[in-house]
Structure formats: C-alpha cells, structure tokens
Structure 1
Amino acid sequence: MPDSARGWKVVAALFVVLMASSGLGFYSLPIFVRVMSEEGAFSVHTISTASAIFFATSGVTGLAVARALARMDVRWVVTAGGLLGALCLLALGQVGDRTTLYLVYALFGVGFSATSLIPAMTVVARWFERQRAIAVGVVSTGLSCGGVVVAPLVAGLAERHGLSAIAPWLACGYLLGTIPLTWAFVRDGPHGRLHGPAGTNTSVPGVPYRAAVRGPFFAWFSLAYVFLMGAQVGAMMHVYNLASLRIDSGFGQLVVALIAVSSICGRFGGGFLLTRVSVYPVASVLCAVQALTLAALSFSDNGLAIGIATVGFGLSVGNLLMMQPLIVIDAFGVRDYAKIYALTQLLTTVGYAVGPELMGGMFDSAGNYRGAFFGAAVAAAAGFVCFRIAVSRRPREDLSQPLVGGRLGS
C-alpha cells in the first residue's frame, strides 16, 4: 500500500482517538463542574481546582510521553494512557472527598496526555510534509468532534442519571475509543521510528532541542500560548455554566456544541488556508478574535449575543490549537519535534491550570461571570502582543536539509 494511503488511515484512526479522549476528557470537564456542583458534593471553585490539576499533570507528563515516543512504539504509549484514563473515569463516580478528587483528576491528566495531542501530532509530523497542515487539521478536528458527538451525550446522561451511574460507561468509552484503532492502524511513521534507542537522529532535518528552547522565539511563543490557552481553557471550563445560569442548562449544552462545530469548521478552513498563506498572520488574527469574543461573552445576557460570541470563540479555539504544532514544526523542524512540542505544552499548562482556577475563584467571589470572562479577554489580548513579538524573532533557517554537526547541511 502506498505511504500516502497508509498515512491517511493513520489520520483517520487518530481522529477517533482524539474524539474519544477529548469528548470524555477535555470537553466533559466543564460538564463535571456543573453536575458535581449541583449535586452538592463540591463547590465550583473546588472542581475548577481539580480541573487545573488535570491540566498541570497533563503538561508535566507530556515531557515523559515525548521521551517515550522517541524510544518505544506509539501504540504502547496510547494503550497505557487509555487504560489509566478509563480507570480514572470509573473512579470519578465514587469520589467522596476533596483529596481523592484531586488525585483522580491528577491521574486522569496523565492518561489524557498519553492519548491526546502529543502522540497524535508527533505521528502526523512523521507521516506528512507537503500536506501536513491538512493532516493536522483533520486529526485535531477529532478534538472538536468530541465536543459535538460525545460531550452532549455525556451532559444529557449526567443531568438525567447522575455521574456515579454513568461513570462505568464513560470508562468503557474511553477504553474502546483509544486502544483498538491505535493497534489496528497507527504506526510511528512510514519507515518506522525516526529515533533509535538513545532518542536522537541527526539525519532528520531540524533544530536541536537545546538550541530551539534557548532562543527568543521559543520564549515569546510559549508565553503567548500561556496567555491564550489560559484564557481559552478557562472559558471552556466555565462557558457551559455561564450559559446555563444566564439562559438554562439546555442552552448550555447548545453552547458547548456550537463551540465544537465552529471549531471543526475553523480547522478545516484553516487547514486549507494554510496551504496557501503563512501561518503567522492567520494566527495573529485569531488571537485578536479570541480576545474580542471573550469580552463579548463577559457582557452578553441574551441567547443570540451569547451564541454569536460562542461561534467566534469556537473559530479561535479550533485554529489556535491546530496552529501551535504547525508553528513548532515550521520554526524548528521534525528532528526533536516531540520534545520541543511537549515543552511548549508543559509551559502552556501554566495557562491551562491558572485559567480555570482564577475564573472559578472570581465566580465564587462575585457570584457571576462578568469579571471572570473579561479577565480572560485581557489575557488573550496579552497573548496577541506576545505572539507578535515572537513573530519578529522567529528563526530564519532553511529546515529542508538535515542538520550536520549541529548546523544546517548544504
């Protein structure tokens, strides 16, 4: 079978894996905030803190996942993550105290890291070059489909039956959604793993890890994504509750689906657009869109205004997440991509962790979401400024040639 056909089968399988892990993980976290707080076991702030712990452990674990991907078959990495994620979802239905809640969320973050973007984007980077933007767009659309297909089902079942009753089914879904297709179709690359047992291969084009992470572009780019993802994830964790409080829980489910649908449309459109234009101006526009739509959500009280702002926010959600790995590949190449991308994810985790925590605390303090979402808009604006500085400092090397002796070969 030609490598291109095999590559697109890998893309299809990873699409389903990300749909399962995001739908039962990332997109279900705001649903858990609503359901668990309504059941009276924990406050919104406590569950938001648990969500922050989830993202923190996910980011820290990402570096270990990247090292594992350089040394072992990706299928074993995803299998370990799928098993751990399923066990945590099963345990979530039985949690009765805050310490156990935090522990379960921490371990869930570990499992999520091994079944989400780092393994998926690393494999896609190895399989594709000319059509990489489209392949990344398709795979990452699985994240949004998790919000469209899986999360509304989770929300409806949780509202109707309670979290403890559906937890075993969520665990089965995570297990079956991540492991079987990975073993059936996913392979490390068209020619096997790029790296040997030591985790290095200097014949692959790209900037070495140490040189990449010490440059000004990496610093400003990572800081930009700390602000952008802090605002984005914080809003994602609370937008369901915002819409439910201002309208009703049915509208909250609609808002989650709207974000996911607009994210899907944005990713497909963005993937094709990036085959024709540079990623940097497109990403800059989306940073501004995210800031403006979060400000609109802060002050919108009627369903139409919230819906319009939600669609704009969803467009930024889908594309900014997709563009992060593409920018890393464009700037630094494939050679040490997994480790560089994992470090950007770890640093971005600061935003993942702080965003939901701060917004939950601001809600508990004020009793509404106006200040929380306006603060997220300010953070997104700061991300825009940092990203523009990063663009002015980006590397100019030609990464089409392998590195020889730490420098680009001729």
Structure 2
Amino acid sequence: MCSASSPRIDCCCLLLIQAAASYFFFDDVKYAVMTDSNSPLFYGWKIVFAILAQLTFTSGLSFYNHAIYLTALAANPNFDVQTASFAVSLFFLSGGVTGLWVAKWVQDYDPRICISAGAIISCFALSSLAFVQEIWQLYLAFMFFGVGFSASSLIPATTLVTRWFHRKRAMALSIASTGLSLGGVVLTPLCVLLVKSMGFEFAAPLMGLLYLVGVIPITWIWLRASPESMGLRPDGVEPPTSLETVGTEQGVAGSEVVVAPRDLALDGITFKQARGTRFFWGISIAYIFLMMAQVGGIAHQYGLASELLSEAQTAMAVAILPFSSIVGRLIGGWLIDRMSIRLFAIGIMILQAASLTLLATGVNVLTLCLGLALFGASVGNLLMLQPLLIAEAFGIREYARIFSVANLMSSWGTAAGPAVLGLAFAANANLYSLPYWIAASAGAVGLILFLTGGKLRAL
C-alpha cells in the first residue's frame, strides 16, 4: 500500500481513510484521496484529520458540554436553569462578535497563533467555572469562554479547509467537521462521569487543561496556513507546465488574446459583492433560527432525557445525538456530490424541524432516542452546510470575512436558543415539552427563510 520511502504517518493516514471509506462503502472517497501506490499523501488530508482531532476537543468541551455545565451550575444555590441558560447564550454571542476579528486575523496572519491564543483563553475560562459564586462572575467566564472557542474552532478550521481544497471541498469539510460530533461521542460522556465522580469543582479545571492539551500540540505539529506556503496547490493537483501557464480567450474582434492563469487564491467575490446578493441574506438570516433551534435543543437535551431516564441512562442517551451526527455528516458528505446542495440543505432543515417535534411530544423512551438520533443527523449536516454553502456561492477570496459575518448573525440564534428554551422551561412548570415545540417552530421558520434566498449560483 505504501512505498518504503513514504513517511509512516502517510501510511497511517492512508489506512485510516481507507478503513473509513470501506466501512461506509464510500468507494469514491478512497479514490479521491488516493493516487497510486508510489505517490505520497497530499498534505491537505493531514490538515483535515488534524482539524478533525482539534474540533473533537473544542466542540466536545464546549458545544456539546453546555448541557452538563448548565445542569451542574443550576445545582448551585446561587444560580438556576434560567441564569445558567443565559450564560450559555453569552458564550455564543461573545464568540460571534469575536469572530469578526478572528476572520481578519486568519486572513492576514498565521491561523495557528489565533488557535493557540483561543485555546489558552478557553482553558482558563473553563477552569474558572469551578470557582464562580456570583452571577457576574458566571457571565464573565462564559463570555471569555466564547471568545476562546471562536478563536480556536470553526472560523480558522473551515478557512484552512477551504484554502486546501476546492474540488474536494465538500468531502474534506464533511470529514474535518466530523470532529464537532466526535467530541460529543467521546468527551461528553467522559465529562459526565468526571463531574459525577469528582464533582464539578474538580472536574472543571481538568476539562480546561484537556482543552489546552488537545488543541495546541495538534495545531503546531500538523496545521499549515495554506498549500502555497508549502509549495503545493489546492487538492494536490500538479502545477501547470510551461505550456499550461497561459491560455487563450476570444477577443472582441474575433482575435485570440493571451490571458494569465486564474489565481486560485483569489477565486471568488468580495464581501461587498456577497452582501448585495439575496442568497447571502437568505442563508444568514435563516441560520439565526436554525441555530436557535439546534443549540437550544442540544443545550437542554440532558434535562430532557433526565425526565424519562435515570442518571446513568441519561449519560448514555446524550451520546446518541453526537454519534448520529457523525454518521449523518459522513453520509451527507457523500450525498452532496450526487445531488443539488440546495435540495440537500432543504431536506436537512425539514429533518431538524421534524425531529424536534418528535422530542417535544415526550411520549416514551423510544421516541426520545429516535428523536435524538434524527436530530443528531440534522445537527451534523447543518453545521457542515453553512461554510460549504458560503464557499460554494462566494468562493474563497474573502471567505473568512463573509463567513464571520454570517456566523455573527447565526450567533444571535445560538445565543437566544438556550435562553429562550430555559425561559419556556421555567414557564412550563419545569417541563421540556413547550421548549422543544418552540425549537421545532424556529427550525421551520429557518427553512422558510432559506427558501426566500433563492437558488445557489456557485462560482
């Protein structure tokens, strides 16, 4: 499989990719990342798997762990579910605002510095949750946590993937963003057990240290700013020969005019041009409501499951959503290459609204588990679809800036979701049926708004 001269890490990565492809019967995944037996692995795939590992820690210790933090903090006599829910909202809101500066940094400077700074901030913020006693301390800690998460997670990660891949972008993003869900499968149940066995006061600093150790070494060992920084080209394509460096174009008078090759680094349009399109506003506003439904549903899943299950069963139930998110995202990455990405997005949005409706019924354990599984499939794909839709529609010329603005708008929804569902929980006699009906309605509104954006016109 690997030549004797190939580095061992190339062999390991090739085997890992092949194993995943064989398991899910994605034969074209194998052919997309493999060349012949004597060719080295394109470094971009190392970037993808490094980001997968990095996102496993950042999402597992933040995005999916909010349900644990919310429950643990609500048990503190100084706080309640409503107060803790608002703290989670501040996490997402501060992260969205910070994303504007993160986008500028990763566009102009080495993204690894930004990721490392974010990991350090997140480590201290998460550790400090063990010592908060006042509401202002709680809110301040979550705001800094949001800043650190924004700097170390999605914006720099998706920016790197879009730089390294053009033709295989959907597949690369689907694999890399699997880390978002893998964190929930691997780390969330572990954190539940840590909190249960050690208490939140001891578990929080340990989780903060885990965030730091899980992000910074990976960042500096494997991540690189762009393929051009290593003398490579996106997707690992061969540089053009001297005869291919120029092309011909029909002039206005019928004569052939020599034109320079297209600069892949400038592929796309500016933010000013993007914001003038109906599609930009359609997807950006839609994701406010889609993320309100998604993050609100995730943040309160632990409390929802605990209404029907024991504590040990609940710890297992919260792993259903991220596990189904992984499977759903891998299947989604395969399907996107075979159908309209817009139709696929519409189907996923319908799935989210339907699964939240099922969770809102709260009939029995079976509907709970089925609802979490279907909801997880929508979670995995919606998180992947936003950067993919933006990259497909507007290119990578100012991708970081365009995505950061769209991400800021969606952060209004992620910020509102936990708080709105927390208020509904308190107003509904501490029961979760009404909150999940609200989440399902928000998902339906997001679908309608996305449809108003019109068809995707990829560059």
Q: TM-score range by the shorter chain?
A: over 0.9
Cα deviations by residue, 1:300-358 (Å, 9 ceiling, x for unpaired)? 23111100111110000000111111100111011010110111110001100111111
Change (3 A) 1:202 1:16: closer
Q: Which residue of 2 aligns with 1:330?
A: 392
Inter-partner Cα distance in structure 1 for 2:174 and 2:78: 39
Shift >4 Å, 4+ stretches:
1-4
Q: Is the 8 A contact 2:160 2:225 kept in 1?
A: yes
Give the superposed CA RMSD: 1.7
Inter-partner Cα distance in structure 1 for 2:339 and 2:319: 29
Change (3 A) 1:14 1:46: same
In the alignment, which of 67, 70, 80 is matched to residue 117 of structure 2? 80
Cα deviations by residue, 1:371-390 (Å, 9 ceiling, x for unpaired)? 11001101100111111121
Q: Which residue of 2 aligns with 1:370?
A: 433
Inter-partner Cα distance in structure 2 for 1:262 and 1:387: 24
Q: Which residue of 1 aligns with 2:80?
A: 43
Q: Which residue of 1 aligns with 2:334?
A: 272
Which structure has the larger Rg over C-alpha atoms?
2
Q: Post-superposition shift, 1:80?
A: 0.3
Q: Does 1:389 align with 2:452?
A: yes
Mapping 1:137-156, distance limit 5 Å: 137-156=174-193
TM-score by length of 1: 0.92
Mapping 1:98-109, distance limit 5 Å: 98-109=135-146
Q: Post-superposition shift, 1:359?
A: 0.4
Change (3 A) 1:203 1:308: closer
Q: Is the 8 A contact 1:69 1:77 kept in 2?
A: yes
Inter-partner Cα distance in structure 2 for 1:319 and 1:24: 20
Structure 2 SS opposite 1:187: coil
Q: Post-superposition shift, 1:202?
A: 9.6
**Higher RCO structure, 1 or 2 (CA under 8 Å, sep 6+):** 1
Q: Does 1:241 align with 2:298?
A: no
In the alignment, which of 377, 382, 391 is matched to residue 315 of structure 1? 377
Q: Does 1:23 align with 2:60?
A: yes
Between 1:351-360 and 1:167-176, the stretch displaced more is 167-176
Q: Is the 8 A contact 1:243 1:249 kept in 2?
A: no
Q: Post-superposition shift, 1:38?
A: 2.3
Cα deviations by residue, 1:11-56 (Å, 9 ceiling, x for unpaired)? 1111111000111111111111112212433100000000000000
Structure 2 SS opposite 1:64: helix
Q: Which segments of 5 or more consecutive residues in structure 2 lack a partner in the other structure?
A: 1-5, 7-38, 232-262
Q: Which residue of 1 aligns with 2:366?
A: 304
Which structure features the higher share of helix residues?
A: 1
Q: Post-superposition shift, 1:252?
A: 2.4
Inter-partner Cα distance in structure 2 for 1:285 and 1:61: 31
Inter-partner Cα distance in structure 2 for 1:344 and 1:23: 23
Q: Post-superposition shift, 1:98?
A: 0.4
Structure 2 SS opposite 1:179: helix
Q: Which amino acid letter does the alignment assign opposite residue 379 of structure 1?
A: A
Q: Which amino acid letter does the alignment assign opposite residue 383 of structure 1?
A: G
TM-score by length of 2: 0.82
Inter-partner Cα distance in structure 2 for 1:239 and 1:380: 16
